[in-house]
Chains A and B, each alone.
Chain A
Amino acid sequence: AQKITQTQPGMFVQEKEAVTLDCTYDTSDQSYGLFWYKQPSSGEMIFLIYQGSYDEQNATEGRYSLNFQKARKSANLVISASQLGDSAMYFCAMREPLSSGSARQLTFGSGTQLTVLP
């Protein structure tokens, strides 16, 4: 079974600084996908970034980058130049492997509440 672990219930960062949100995963499959979502207080889940298990380069999307260390089974999210609007809950998620013939659903970590300080 897949498992996603986010060990930081809450994080604080000063505005304009960078912050790293940790995510580790456990799977015996070779083909999988890792996602990060942002959930502001409104509740919507905003897709931020995706990393495939076979991707050799770390994914980047604007100020978001994913530090993918496959051997360590970690997929940390790095937010550069934090903004006040980045304050939200952040979830790491893993997609079931393509080879399983499954519905390719997501399994979520427990989340990290990020607060950006002015």
Chain B
Amino acid sequence: GAVVSQHPSRVICKSGTSVKIECRSLDFQATTMFWYRQFPKQSLMLMATSNEGSKATYEQGVEKDKFLINHASLTLSTLTVTSAHPEDSSFYICSTRIPGLAGSLYQETQYFGPGTRLLVL
């Protein structure tokens, strides 16, 4: 079954509006979640690391005031694209770490949500 859910799966909005994307970990607590962006025919690029109860860590070149991340609980992280513009149209996907047996970090894997396709008109 799904380990991570994401909502909405698809959103179309007008330029200048804000869009919120939710990422939920199912059946486990996630202190850290990751937000990626993927443009067509390209690879995934990490945007930010979302930490429960603290500020997100943004990658170089990602505007923290434009891409607001909130990780208020151990099962939910949200990404809000503020004042969206057509160039923000992309596929946004979140992920979370799943520890290995007995909490092994070495065997830790990472599972992804189904993603959100954002189209800004």
- A45 lies within 8 A of B106 (CB): no
**Is the beta-carbon distance between B111 and A47 smaller than 8 angstroms?**
yes
Known: A52-B106, A91-B43. A45 touches B95 (CB 8 A): yes
Instruction: Determine the residue in chain A with the shortest Cβ distance to B57.
Output: A103
Is A118 in the interface zone, CB < 8 Å from B? no
Q: Are B109 and A104 in contact (CB under 8 A)?
A: no
- Which residue in chain A gives the minimum CB-CB distance to B2? A44
Please give, as numbers and ranges, the residues of chain A lying within 8 Å of B51 by CB-CB distance: 103
**Is there a chain A Cβ closer than 8 Å to B67's Cβ?**
no
On whether the beta carbons of A33 and B112 are closer than 8 Å, the reply is: no
- Residues of B close to A54: CB separation below 8 A: 106
- Kindly identify, within residues 64 to 106 of chain B, every residue whose CB is under 8 Å from any CB belonging to chain A: 91, 93, 95, 97, 105-106
A47: which B residues are within 8 A, CB to CB?
109-112
CB-based A-B contact count at 8 angstroms = 63
Count of chain B residues near A, Cβ 8 A: 27
Indicate which residue in A46, A52, A109, A111 contacts B107 across the interface (CB closer than 8 Å).
A52
A18 within 8 A of B: no
Q: How large is the interface on A (under 10, 10 to 19, 20 to 34, 35 or more residues)?
A: 20 to 34
> B11 on the interface (CB 8 Å rule)?
no
Please, which residue of chain B has its CB at the minimum distance from the CB of A52?
Answer: B106
Contact B110 A95 (CB under 8 A): yes
Q: Shortest distance in angstroms between B54's beta carbon and chain A's nearest beta carbon?
A: 12
Query: Which among A42, A52, A106, A109 has the greatest number of chain B C-beta atoms within 10 A?
Result: A106
Report the minimum CB–CB distance from A37 to chain B (whole Å). Answer: 8
Q: Let me know if A109 and B112 touch, CB within 8 A.
A: no
Interface check B117, CB cutoff 8 A:
yes
Q: How far is the CA of A61 from the CA of B14 in the complex (A)?
A: 44
Give the Cβ gap from A77 to chain B, nearest Cβ, in Å. 15
Q: What separation, in Å, do the CA atoms of A95 and B117 have in the docked complex?
A: 25
List the A residue with the shortest CB-CB distance to B32: A103
Q: Taking CB as reference atom, which chain A residue is nearest B116?
A: A43
In this assembly, does A50 line the interface, its C-beta being within 8 Å of a C-beta of chain B? yes
Cα distance A43–B117 in the bound complex, in angstroms: 9
> What are 15 A-B contacts defined by CB distance under 8 Å?
A33-B106, A43-B91, A43-B93, A43-B117, A44-B115, A47-B109, A47-B110, A47-B111, A98-B105, A103-B57, A104-B108, A106-B44, A106-B46, A108-B44, A110-B42
